[in-house]
Structure 1
Amino acid sequence: MSDFTVLDLLDLDLKEHNHLSLSCIGGRAGLSRKITTSKISRPGLPLSGFFDEFSNNSIQVFGRGEQVYISKLEREKNLSSLEKLFSYDIPCCVFCDDGTPSDSLLALAEQSGTAVLSTPLISSDFSRRLYQTLDEVFAPTQTIHGVLVEVYGIGVLITGESGVGKSETALELIERGHRLISDDTVRLRNISDNYLIGMGENPLLAHHMEIRGLGIINLANLFGVGAIRDRKQVQLSVHLEEWEADKNYDRVGESSLNDTYLGISIPMVVIPVKPGRNIPVIIETAARNERLKKLGYYSAKEFDQSVLKWLESESARKMYYINEETL
């Protein structure tokens, strides 16, 4: 994300266990200062006067130890390291555990135009939440045309040509008790090159759905808040396409298809659409099957092994009878 500022950090609408509980207690002129990295810094060494490799472009997090050390420096009237710290264009300072900076530190912050923030969280909890938040803010993003639903706990991304029935399929899944994340457009985020998070391109419109013949419907109003969620990890890609009679579709499940977004590969299934096929039930089955795979159970491989065992046993019986007849 470009031009992400300290004020943007304060305005983030984070829920429950992700909430940073930040408030500005000084240096309000620095709220417009940009945050350019997801890294954070604990400035213990700089406070002691060691500024080699100082991460001055990172948010500076002051825990209990740093706060006690600052008090010691102030009692000794040795503020040179503090003055040098604020001579850098650091994005902001955060005092954890409801720490209260001294008047001299606030004066340095005001003079340098650096925002000073406070949070009731202890430094370990705050650092974990902040790193996770910034990692998502600065994650590579991609917007695609599709529908994202949660089916049996699996984030299913439904793609296909316009008019193939993506929204209608998602609507049937919601009626069957599953949840919608976004219809029509889905924003994907690459989190730490490890997994994909999907959400609506516009949070205000994500839970609205366009159904041909009905128009725009609000899923939360129709089915309740239990039918929607804000975001979900994308774990399965389902591509809907018109049935082609001369195309050879996978009937056993041995072939392993993958879809790649932002450099991350996720399992994919291709479902041909034609009248009479119950696509929502097929997607439910695909989601259940994906959960089984994550538990180490592969239906296609199990089927192959069963067939091989059966063939081996038949061959063994035939060889036994042949040998009996020749005696």
Structure 2
Amino acid sequence: MSGKVVTVRELIEEMSYIKVASGEEFLNRRILSSDLSRPAIELTGYFDFYPSKRVQLFGKTEISFINRMTSEEKKIIFKRMCQPETPAFLIARDKEAPEELIEVATKAEIPVLVSHRSTTRLAANVTNFLEEYLSERMDQHGVFMDIYGMGVLIIGESGIGKSETGLELIQRGHRLVADDRVELYMMDESRIIGEAPEILRHLIEIRGVGVIDIANMFGVGAVRDTQVLDLVINLKNWDKDDAYDRLGNDVENKRFFNVDVPMLNIPVRVGRNLATITEVAAMNIRAKQMGYDATEKFEANLTKLIEKNSRDYRENNM
């Protein structure tokens, strides 16, 4: 597992609507937290719980309050806000950066950024970007597909047919997210996102054929860059001594980070169409999520049949 380090420069390159007001030479400062800080009580001089490691965001309210302060008061506050670990100051709504902030931040080697975006929208966009790039990541061997809008990760031993299954699913109209190596990270407490490493994006490897560019061969509609992980399909070589679930009651979970994802163990045997099985498995899990469970219907039908046979038996033997 690994996490990325984000610099102020990378933030600006990702979001073209953020410009540098001062401190162009300080853009290599690292951002270590995805949370933003909107200084409020700090502007009155209370710094006991000042989150100095966060990007400091000023909106219309903060700038209006600052503009009511004297030049000396501004310098005092800004000096206390400029800590060694503070990555940057960011001003929304195209508000002019106070001269005192530029002066103090420049001495502390902290860049001052500005954007025309509204404070709320800017905060959301920056937070989403930082959460994605600062989140803990892990690599998972497998093929990640978008099947009917569900993120399905196909795993199994090397050579068992994961990529071939993925290719047939693409021919059926589903979309490839990643082949061979999938990068997983947490979007929030309950959602895991998967994507392909840059070097493998939109590519799939088929033994005996080589590497195929899916976007070039099937069109851009056959690929997508990221997807939420909803289901894991574990392909296993058929073993006559293993007991396989036949009713759908024994759905296991596979844990990624601290999130449990449903997992189905699918035995691989000559004559079984793995693409069709994977497709149907995804549809069946989606149906269960929407409240329809075929297993429950089967059990209800079986109960009715047993009750009917029991009544018929009593009537015929009375």
Question: Any conservation in 1 of the 2:75–2:104 contact (CA below 8 Å)?
Answer: no
CA distance in 2, matches of 1:262, 1:320: 59
The structural deviation recorded for 1:317 is 2.9
User: Is structure 2 residue 316 aligned with structure 1 residue 294?
Assistant: no
Out of 218, 234, 239, the residue aligned to residue 244 of structure 1 is 239
Q: Match for residue 277 of structure 1?
A: 272
Question: Does residue 117 of structure 2 align to residue 121 of structure 1?
Answer: yes
* Residues in 2 aligned to 1:8 and 1:210: alpha-carbon distance in whole angstroms: 31
Question: What secondary structure sits across from 2:113 in the alignment?
Answer: strand
Deviations 1:97-127 (A, max 9, x none): 1222133321222111111112222111122
Q: Which residue of 2 aligns with 1:321?
A: 316
Does the C-alpha gap of structure 1 residues 78 and 205 become closer, same or farther in structure 2, counting only changes over 3 Å? closer
Contact 1:149 1:182 in 2 (8 A): yes
Which whole-Å deviations, capped at 9, do the CAs of 1:179-215 have from their partners, x for residues lacking one?
Answer: 0000000011123331211011x22322111111111
Q: Quote the RMSD (CA, aligned, Å).
A: 1.8
Which residue type is aligned with residue 301 of structure 2?
S
In the alignment, which residue of structure 2 is the partner of 1:99? Answer: 95
Tell me if the contact between 1:238 and 1:270 (Cα under 8 Å) persists in the aligned partners.
yes
Q: What are the ranges of 5 or more consecutive residues in structure 2 without an aligned counterpart?
A: none
CA contact (8 A) 1:20 1:129 kept: no
Residue of structure 1 aligned with 2:51, choices 55, 61, 85: 55
TM (norm. structure 2) is 0.94
Contact kept, 8 Å, 1:252 with 1:300, in 2: the verdict is: yes
Contact 1:145 1:186 in 2 (8 A): yes
| 2:198 alignment partner, SS class | coil
Match of 1:179 in 2: 175
- Contact persistence 2:105–2:112 (CA under 8 A): yes
How much has 1:83 moved relative to structure 2? 2.8
> Who is 1:308 aligned against?
303
8 Å CA contact retained: 2:287, 2:293: yes
Matches of 1:89 and 1:206 in 2, distance apart? 35
What are the Cα deviations for residues 228-257 of structure 1, in whole angstroms up to 9, with x where unaligned? 011101100001122222322111111121
**Which shifted more, 105-114 or 19-28?**
19-28
Q: What is the percentage of aligned positions where both structures have the same residue?
A: 34
Q: Is the contact between residue 6 and residue 130 of structure 2 (CA under 8 Å) also seen in structure 1?
A: no
Task: Say which SS state the counterpart of residue 216 (structure 2) adopts.
Answer: helix
Q: Is the 8 A contact 2:74 2:101 kept in 1?
A: no
Name the residue aligned to 1:11. Answer: 13
Q: Which residue of 2 aligns with 1:167?
A: 163
Cα distance, 1:175 vs structure 2: 0.7
Corresponding pairs, count: 316
Q: Give the Cα separation in 1 of the matches to 2:95 and 2:234.
A: 52
Most deviating of 79-88 and 163-172 = 79-88
Tell me, yes or no, if structure 1 residue 192 matches structure 2 residue 188: yes
> AA paired with 2:150?
I
Q: Secondary structure at the match of 2:21?
A: strand
Call closer, same or farther: CA 1:160–1:78 in 2, change over 3 Å.
closer
Runs (4+) off by over 3 Å: 74-79
1:150 aligns with 2:152: no
Q: Residues 84-95 of structure 1: matches in 2 within 5 Å?
A: 84-87=80-83, 89-95=85-91
State how far apart, in whole Å, the 1-side matches of 2:111 and 2:16 are. Answer: 16
1:89 positional shift: 3.6
